[in-house]
Amino acid sequence: MKHEEIKNYVRRRYGEIAREATSCCKPPSADRALDIGYSEEDLRNVPETSNMGLGCGNPVALASLKEGETVLDLGSGGGIDVFMAAKRVGSKGKVIGVDMTEEMVKKAREMTLKHGYESVEFRLGEIEDLPIEDDSIDVVISNCVINLAPDKEKVFREACRVLKPGGRIMISDIVTEGELPKEVKESLEAWAGCVAGALEKGQYLTLIERAGFKNVTIVSERTSGDCCSYAKIASVQVQGFKT
């Protein structure tokens, strides 16, 4: 299966989700957001329609963001994590969301204008080829998106490229324990459902280290059966640092 075929299918599927305002697994809800790590206060402080039920964790809660930092969200979707991060970095900081789906970027930009976010920007682009300058970001976050990318090592190398020396990543994503069946790996629907592209946990961590990150650790982990039951799947929150 070619990389472009996967990306085009995922792009179309998430464009539909943006238009329909539904998640890949179930309709978005406060209950699902609470289940994966958001607090009621988190949800009160972001536009309601930015919660699209697409995440598998809450990377912002664990990223230890500081006032004045510049944050990049890989695969920002409806913008929930961007808007949360904006509150933490304040008016002196900046948060940039990058997403390859035009409908998602349009939706997020509309919410930015409607709710008056001045330190937020959404850019159209692929996370394997980020429209971001070298050494310009303090913190990279991502929420259940890197599993959708066919070339994950390139994603991690791009994250390392745009981070300042000493910068850090905090990623929530889906990994597996053991190999997925061939029929699952070759299913475009399973790719869009955050399953077919999931890597084995050890391989995932190795790719992050190979991209140039140090002290790569799993901060939290839980078994995930929300969407599918093909294999033992876990959602993990992973931290790493650029030297």
What is the domain partition of the chain in residue ranges? 3-242
Q: How far apart are CA 49 and CA 79, in angstroms?
A: 9
Do the Cβ atoms of 148 and 121 come closer than 8 Å?
no
> Amino acid letter at 166?
G
| CATH code of the region 3-242 | 3.40.50.150
pTM of this structure: 0.91
pLDDT in tens, 24-50: 444 455 667 887 888 888 888 899 889
pLDDT in tens, 80-99: 999 999 999 999 999 999 99
Confidence band for 23, pLDDT divided at 50, 70 and 90: very low
pLDDT in tens, 152-184: 999 999 999 999 999 999 999 999 988 888 888
Q: How far apart are CA 165 and CA 186, in angstroms?
A: 38
Count of residues making up the chain: 243
Q: Which residues, including other chains, have CB under 8 Å from residue 45's CB and lie 6 or more apart?
A: 83, 84, 87
pLDDT in tens, 44-73: 889 988 988 888 999 999 999 999 999 999
Angle at 42 between CA 38 and CA 43, to 5 degrees: 90
